[in-house]
């Protein structure tokens, strides 16, 4: 297949601090170096990219993901039988909870959490089912200097067991299966403030999904700090909101963004296809 060459790509911001919609690019085609450079720069600048009206096979979605690095496998959720790197994220009409509901950063219980995730919309509810994103760079920037200094010296514990319990599956959706990997083996410490490895920008790096404790302080101090930081991190002024349609592809920078898949579409089905790109050790 011929690589996509010079295309009049346009980048339109979605909110004051993060997110952009890119048009003029067909991701089913192999990307030229020039086009990849445009997308990569937009990714570093906006952290959440939205591409509309794409028609992508799993292989084409995975080829796009590999432009950013090696694809990862989810340690607990079973992937697609043919392409195990690919997760079918499905909420059935009568599911009480959805996968990815609640603010979180993906797989921070890994020593090297994913660089980013790339989701492609297959079947979306007629209304509802948006995904919210929050810039952790904006969250960091709005802290006071003394708070930044204190947090800069701290690390926090992130544990898979907070979501994936050993006593049973917690994918929360009938259509998704967990394997029997022991979540207790996935407990790590990361800095509370992370420096983005490509841009050098600092970001708050704790999340409600997996962060269990601020290390080296008392339990009460840890609770107080975490309560404050987890609320601070997801204020409306740091967010953007993406409404899905079949054919929408969304990618986000998991190194500086939290996200929250809303479950406000009771009685309807939602199916998006997710791949993730391996990341590095937070520093």
**Where does this chain bind ligand SIN (CB under 6 A)?**
89, 99-100, 117, 119, 131, 259, 261, 272, 274
For ligand SIN, the closer CB: 38 or 113: 113
Instruction: Give the bridge partners for 273, in sequence order.
Output: 88, 120
For ligand SIN, the closer CB: 4 or 171: 171
For ligand SIN, the closer CB: 158 or 259: 259
CA torsion angle 24 28 32 35 (round to 10): 30
For ligand SIN, the closer CB: 214 or 251: 251
Q: Is 73 helix (H, G, I), strand (E, B) or coil?
A: coil
For ligand SIN, the closer CB: 26 or 123: 123
Contact 206, 233 (CB under 8 A): yes
259 included as an active-site residue: yes
106 included as an active-site residue: yes
Minimum distance from CB of 251 to ligand SIN (Å)? 11
Contact 19, 46 (CB under 8 A): yes
Measured CA to CA, the distance from residue 174 to residue 125 in angstroms comes to 17
- Alpha carbon distance, N-terminus to C-terminus of the chain: 39
Minimum distance from CB of 14 to ligand SIN (Å)? 15
Q: Is 80 helix (H, G, I), strand (E, B) or coil?
A: coil
Count CA atoms closer than 13 A to 66's CA, side-chain side.
Answer: 9
Minimum distance from CB of 106 to ligand SIN (Å)? 6
Measured CA to CA, the distance from residue 8 to residue 269 in angstroms comes to 35
Q: Of 72, 95, 106, 114, which one is the catalytic site residue? A: 106
- Residue 149, class by beta-carbon neighbours within 10 Å (0-12 exposed, 13-18 middle, 19+ buried)? exposed
Q: Of 46, 47, 74, 104, which one is the catalytic site residue? A: 104
Minimum distance from CB of 149 to ligand SIN (Å)? 32
Q: Of 196, 213, 259, 260, which one is the catalytic site residue? A: 259
Minimum distance from CB of 159 to ligand SIN (Å)? 17
For ligand SIN, the closer CB: 18 or 261: 261
Minimum distance from CB of 78 to ligand SIN (Å)? 15
Closest Cα to residue 147, out of 214, 102, 83, 80? Answer: 214
Q: Of 46, 213, 273, 274, which one is the catalytic site residue? A: 274
Measured CA to CA, the distance from residue 139 to residue 162 in angstroms comes to 23
Query: Which residue is nearest to ligand SIN, using beta carbons?
Result: 100
Contact 97, 172 (CB under 8 A): yes
The structure tokens 């004051």 sit at 16
Contact 78, 218 (CB under 8 A): no
Mind telling me the catalytic residues?
Answer: 104, 106, 259, 274
């Amino acid at each position: 297949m011929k690589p996509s060459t010079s295309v009049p790509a346009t980048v339109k911001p979605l909110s004051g601090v993060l997110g952009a919609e890119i048009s003029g690019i067909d991701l089913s085609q192999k990307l030229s170096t020039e086009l990849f450079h445009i997308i990569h720069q937009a990714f570093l600048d906006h952290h959440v990219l939205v591409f509309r009206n794409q028609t992508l096979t799993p292989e084409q979605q995975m080829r796009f993901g590999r432009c950013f690095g090696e694809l990862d496998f989810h340690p607990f959720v079973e992937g697609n039988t043919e392409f195990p790197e690919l997760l079918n994220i499905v909420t059935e009409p009568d599911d009480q909870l959805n996968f990815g509901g609640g603010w979180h950063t993906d797989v921070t219980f890994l020593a090297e959490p994913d660089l980013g995730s790339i989701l492609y919309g297959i079947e979306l509810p007629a209304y509802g089912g948006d995904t919210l994103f929050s810039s952790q760079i904006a969250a960091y920037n709005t802290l006071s200097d003394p708070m930044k200094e204190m947090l800069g010296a701290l690390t926090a514990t992130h544990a898979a067991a907070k979501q994936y319990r050993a006593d049973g599956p917690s994918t929360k959706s009938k259509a998704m299966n967990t394997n029997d990997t022991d979540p207790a083996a996935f407990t790590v410490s990361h800095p509370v403030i992370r420096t983005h490895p490509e841009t050098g920008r600092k970001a708050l790096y704790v999340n409600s999904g997996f962060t269990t404790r601020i290390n080296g302080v008392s339990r009460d101090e840890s609770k107080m700090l975490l309560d404050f930081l987890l609320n601070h991190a997801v204020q409306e002024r740091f967010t953007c909101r993406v409404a899905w349609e079949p054919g929408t592809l969304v990618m986000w920078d998991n190194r500086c963004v939290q996200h929250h898949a809303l479950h406000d579409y009771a009685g309807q089905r939602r199916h998006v296809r997710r791949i993730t790109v391996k990341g590095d050790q937070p520093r």
